[in-house]
Amino acid sequence: MTGPTGLATRKITPDLARGLLLALIAVANAHLYLVERPIGYRGYPAGLTGGDAVVAVVQMVLVDGRVFPLFAALVGYGVARLAERAPEPVVRRRGLVLLGVGALHGLLLFPGDIIGAYGLVILLLAPAVASSSRGLLAAAGAIGAFAVFLSSGASGPQGVPTVPSIAAPTLGAFLAAHPTEWLATTIFSALLTAPAVLVGVVIGRSGTLDDPAVHRRRLTLWAVAGSVAGVGLGLPLALAVIGVWAPTGAVGAAVAAAHAAGGYAGALGLLGLMGLLGSVSWPGQRLVAAAGTWSMTLYLSQSVVFVAVFAVVAGGLGSTASLTTATLVGLATWLAGVVVAGLLARAGHRGPFELLVRRLTYLGGTSGTS
């Protein structure tokens, strides 16, 4: 068994994808902090108009439900790399560590946490990582179909915030609501993202992201086909978000299921686009990729900023901010994180949570390079 991959030997494209993905995660989470107003579909405020309506449609077809499957695919890529150099118990330990980090994040800050869900998926699916790629894809398809079916049940306006504790009036109430919220989110998110983790393992084996210049044709196919399918399947629910129509009954269920299915397609499209961006040089590329090596630390830091700015028990901006304002706050948080973490990473510093996860994962094994 060998230890963690050193910075000098890392492939740039997966880290670049993680760095870019953090911007989409910030956008995807920011609107969940908008509370104390009527809440419609997918946690978006009801009655959006003007610029907010445009922002909502763009997010619904390109970001909402697309980002976390993409994140999951990159997690699966990492699992494939880990399985190449470490036995199954180490892979399971990685899952357990991520579950623990996710629990702390969810209980203390943001119960909409996704890290715990990925940890649970890794923990449960670790024995299957050694299966054939064909078997992993078949399992991904079966689990994905079931997840889409379950998603059809969430077909109407929510009425309440996705994360109700953000509107809690006191710190005690804020924290008391987190265990139940985090547990429910983790279980459901694990089901939704498990297919993408399995696909990510297959992508990791294929070498597509390791040498994107050689695989431009495949990446272009992913980018075009995935994006077209993601937008097409997401548009009906996007129009419901801004009040163009209100699908009900079987039609509403079909629209919700289509949006969920489009999430997997859209995630593949985004991954293809990020792979293409990794196949050419452009200004800031190295900085964004360097920040991608801090992806967990930056993801957690976004929650610190969002709670401080938006939560009712802190800054309270979530009670009055528009969707556009929340989105801009999210992008500004991402940009600041890229600059700070990118410069630190390029100076040879690892993210504190990345170090913690690696040390706990390899506890008792070869320390390697960290």
For position 370, what pLDDT does the model report? 32
Confidence at 53, pLDDT banded by 50, 70, 90: very high
Report if residue 6 sits inside a domain: no
Whether 1 is covered by a domain: the verdict is: no
Residue 4 lies in a domain: no
Query: Above 50 in pLDDT, residue 366?
Result: no
Q: Is residue 370 part of a domain?
A: no
- AA letter at 251: V
pLDDT in tens, 120-173: 999 999 999 989 999 999 999 999 999 999 999 988 999 999 999 999 999 999
Number of domains in the chain: 1
Residue 129 identity (one-letter amino acid): V
What is the chain's percent helix, strand, coil content, to nearest 5? 75, 0, 25
Cα within 13 Å of Cα(204), Cβ side: 24
The answer to whether position 367 is within a domain reads no
pLDDT at 368: 39
pLDDT digits (tens, 9 = 90+) for 283-295: 999 999 999 999 9
133 CA to centre of own chain: 23
Token pair, residue 187, equals 């279980």
> For residue 332, is it within any domain?
yes
Q: How far is 16 from 69, CA to CA, in rounded Å?
A: 17
Cα–Cα distance for residue pair 72/204, rounded to 1 Å = 12
The share of the chain scoring above pLDDT 90, in percent, equals: 94
Contact 189, 114 (CB under 8 A): yes
User: pLDDT by residue (tens digit) across 169-213?
Assistant: 999 999 999 999 999 999 999 999 999 999 999 999 999 999 999
Range of the domain at 22: 11-359
Query: Averaged over 219-230, what is the pLDDT?
Result: 98
High-pLDDT (> 70) share of the chain, %:
96
